Amino acid sequence: MTNPFILINKELYNQQLATFLQSADPETQDKLRIGSRDIWRGVLIKTFNLSAESIPEKEVDISKARTMMHKVSQRMMDPSVLESIAKECSTIVSTGDEAMVTAQKHHIVQKTLVHEVYLGGDPPLVTECGFENNEKGYVGLQCVMAEHQSDPLIAQYVGAGMMRILKSAGIDLGGAQQAKTA
């Protein structure tokens, strides 16, 4: 199961990277954008046990990436998605280990994001964005989006959607962040 603090750290990393990039020269900006994209692609390829060759080498401009992420954000905040997460998370029986409960909720969030937000719907979001409607299409879309993850507008879309989803799951980001820094 994925560590629930990874999301917090990735979000913090993206915020700090975006802040740094605002004052960096164009060559540094490009190198960091590409380096960050390649790291995220490597993580996705390893996580989903895919070969680098199986991932489409698509690139999109910032305008198209923003449009795609806006669609993702809107689907993340769809009442049916939020209700699905809340309903499934409400069935978790606490064993007294809050870290385990949070990890279970995070797993539900991740599963819902992949299967309901990206691969679900009519048409599926991955298909709407030009990718296959399967796990490989999901990874391909994530790889394309990785190139623009530090864009302030894309970060705003992601942040808004994730905050609503985590709230529906009953995951307290304030408490999670405090636990991480303790």
Residue-wise pLDDT tens digits, 37-89: 788 888 888 888 888 887 767 778 899 999 999 999 999 999 999 999 999 99
DSSP calls for 66-122: HHHHHHHHHHHT-HHHHHHHHHHHTTPPP-S-HHHHHHHHHHHHHHHIIIIIIS-TT
Please tell me which residue, 150 or 174, carries the higher pLDDT value. 150
Q: Tell me the C-alpha distance between 167 and 25, whole Å.
A: 38
pLDDT tens string 18-37: 777 778 888 988 888 788 77
Cα atoms found within 13 Å of the Cα of residue 179, Cβ hemisphere only: 14
CA angle centred on 85, ends 84 and 91, rounded to 5°: 95
Give the model's confidence band at 180: pLDDT under 50 very low, under 70 low, under 90 confident, else very high. very low
Q: Tell me the C-alpha distance between 97 and 92, whole Å.
A: 12
Q: What is the average pLDDT value for the chain, to the nearest integer?
A: 83
pLDDT tens string 125-135: 999 998 989 88
Whether 106 has a pLDDT exceeding 60, the answer reads: yes
